[in-house]
Structure 1
Amino acid sequence: MRFEKLDIAIAGAGIGGLSLAAMLASRGANVVIYDQMAAPQPVGSGFVLQPTGSAVLSHMGLLDKAAARGAVINRMHGKLAGTNKTVLEIGYGKSRHGIAIQRVALFDILLEAAIAAGVKFETSSKAIDISDGERPAIVLDGGRMAPSADLVIDAMGANSPLGYIPTKELGYGALWATVPWPEDGPFHRHELEQRYHRASRMAGVLPVGTAKDGAPKMATFFWSLRNQDIDTWRSAGRAAWIGEVKEMWPETVPFAEIAEPVHARYRHHTRKPIAGRRILRIGDAWHATSPQLGQGANMALLDAASLVTALEHSTSIEGALALHVRQRGLHIRFYQLMSFVMTPFYQSDSRVLPVIRDIAIAPTTQLPLMRQLISRLVTGEFLDPVKRIGL
C-alpha cells in the first residue's frame, strides 16, 4: 500500500499513538494527532522497556537514545516484608536485559521522532467519539468534527470514552512517585526490587535513569493501595504513610518523605480491536491489564509496529486491519489471560492466594525449565510477538 495517499487521524498522544504516528509519517502518510492536553505531555512514572519494546524502538532507530537515558535491568527480585524471604526471582539471562526508563524520557524521544517525521498536532482537542463511515472522523468535545480520514486510531488508553465500561476497574491501584536515585543507597542499580505483605500490600523500587541528557538519575517508588482507601490515605496524612512504609520496608522511608505520589487506577478489559469501518484501537484502548506483568507500553509499541507492517503488506486498509489483528491477537489473548490469573496472587484481599504463591509457586519458579519459561513470560517474548508482526 502506498502510504503517501493515506490520511491518518490518531486520538491520543501516548506511547502507542506517538510511535505509530512517527512510523506512518516517516513512510509518507499524512498523520494528525488529536490530544486533550494543551501541549503533548506524558502521563505516568517509570516502567521497564522489555526486549519486545526494544525491538520496535530498534526498528525505528531510537533504541540507542532510549538506552542512553534508561537503566539496565537484569533481575526482578521480590521478598516478603519482615522475613526477607525471596518469593520472586526472575533473571533475563546472559545476553538479554530490560531497560527501565522514565515515561517522560521515552515520550520526549518519540515526540521528537514524530515531529521530525512531519506529524501534525491538534492540542486541546478532546476526542469523545468517532463517526463511522467510509472516511471516519473524530468527534471532539463540544461537537466539533475533525476532518475525515482514511483510518482513525483510538490510542486514548484504558479510559478511552469509546466503549468505556466503569465496572472493569480493578480493586487495587498504586501510588507512584519519581524520586532521586541514591547512588550509595541499599538498592541494586540493575534490579526491580519489591516487598510484599500478603497480597494486600506491595512496594517497589525501580532505577529509571535520567529524564534527559545531564539530568540526575532517578528511581520510581510505588506502593499498592485499594482504590476505595485513597481518601482515607489522604486524610491520614504523610506521617501515617511514612509509619506504614517504615514498618514494611524501612530502607524506602527517605523516598516516602520526599515523594509527590500520584494515584493510578487500573483496568482489565479486552475490547474489540476494530471499532468500526476503518476505526482501530491500539494499546490499552484495546487491551488493558494490571501492571503485574509490566507489558503495557511494550504492548502499545508492538501494536503500532504491527499495524505498520500490516499496511506495508496489504493492498487495502480493510485487509491490513485484518492482518494486524491476526498478527497481534494470540499474543494479546495469552497475556490478558496470564495477567487475569496472576494479579490476585500479588494484589488482592485474599489470604489464601499469597500463601499458595509463597509456598508452592515461588519454589517452582526456581526450577531450571520454569525459570526460562517465567523469564520469557515477563519479558513479553512468549509466542514470539516480534516475529509474528514481521519486524
Structure 2
Amino acid sequence: MLSTQSADIVRATLPVVGAHLDEITSRFYSTMFSERPELLDGLFNRGNQANGEQRRALAGSIAGFASALLANPDERPDALLARIAHKHAAVAVTDDQYVIVHKYLFGAIADVLGDAATPEVIAAWDEVYWLMGGALIALEARLYAEKNADNGRTWREWTIVDRREETPDVFSLVLRPSDGGPLPEARPGQYVSVLHRMPDGIRQIRQYSISGGDEHTRRITIKRVRGTEHTPEGEMSALLYATAKAGDTLTVSAPFGDVVLTDSDRPLVFATAGIGCTPIVGMLNYLAATGATRRILALHADRSRAEHALWQETSTLIARLPHAQYVVWYEEGDGGLPGQMDLTGLEIPADAEVYLCGPLPFMREIRAQFLAAGVPAKDIHYEVFGPDLWLPAD
C-alpha cells in the first residue's frame, strides 16, 4: 500500500513526527478554526477541542495508521478505519473536508518541524494521509449509501413524543420522525447524532446510543454532565436536560456505529459502568424481542442503585431471556455487590463475545481482567462516547 521509498522515510521520521504530534495537531486546529471558524458550527465538538481529546485522538489515529502500514505493509488497518469512518459519518463529514484538513495539517507539520520537513518527508507523509483519507472517503461513501444519503445528508427532523426521568441526572427522550416516514434501519448497539443550536447560536453535535424503541419510535438516554471544579458542564446534555420536552423537535442523524451485536449463537458478556449501559440495554431489548436463547452474562457497575439508569428495565429484560444472568456492583453497596466490578469468582462462558462500555479507565481495567481470564483480545469489543483515545493501543 505504501511505496517502498515513502515507507523508508516514514519509518525514519515516525519518532520525530510522533514526538511532535501533539504540537502539530494543536497548531493545526488553532490555525484552521482561526481561518475557517464556520467549521465549529455543526461539525466539530468544541468541548472536545477545549479539553484536548479531539487533538489527542487525531494524533493517535495518524500515528496508529502509519505504524500499521509499516508493520503490515500488505494489509489495511480496517478496525481502526471502520471506527473512524462511523464517527465521521455520524457527524456528516464530506469529501471536500479532507482537502481542507490536509491544507492545515500539512501547514502545521511544516511549521512545527521546520527544516526537518523536507520535500521528501512531506511527500512521504502526504502519501500516508491520502492512503488513510482515501480509504475513509470510500468507507464513508458506503455508509452513506446504506442510509440512502448523499455525502453526509443523513439529518432528519424528529419529534419528542415522551420524556422519561430515569435518575436525578439521566433522562430518556422517545423520538418519532416528524415527517411520519419509516424509521431508518438501526443495528443493536448503534448511536445517533443530535445536532442542536446552542444559546450563542452555534450548532453542536453529540452522539447518543439507541437504548430502545419500537416500530414507530427510537429512544435515546442522556446523562447530564455536571460541572466540577476541574471540568466544565456538558454543553449539550445540560441544555437538553433543562429544555427538551414532549412536542419539541430535534435534528437527528441516521444510526451509525461499528460496535454492534453479532448474529451468532455464541455466549455474550456485557460489562458496563454508569451511562455506558445504554447501548447494551439497546442490545438486550433486541435480544428479548427476537426470543434469543444465547447464554448472556450482564455485568454493571455504578455509584448506587439510585444512580443506575434503566436498572429496572434491564432486570426485566434479563428475566425474559432464558439463559441470562445479571450481576451489579455499587460503590455504596445498596442492592448489589459492594465496590467496583471484579471478575474474580465469575464463570466467564467459553467462546464468549465481550462488549464493554463506560469510562475509559473502567474499560482499561476490566479489559485487562477479561484478558487475564483467557478471553482473546479479538473477542473484546468496546464503545467509546466521544473521540476514541484508545484506538492506537487497541
Q: Normalising by the residue count of structure 2, what TM-score does the alignment of the two structures yield?
A: 0.26
Give the structure with the higher percent strand.
Answer: 1
RCO higher in structure (CA 8 A, sep ≥6): 1
Give the structure with the higher percent helix.
Answer: 2
Q: Normalising by the residue count of structure 1, what TM-score does the alignment of the two structures yield?
A: 0.26
Q: Which has the larger radius of gyration?
A: 2
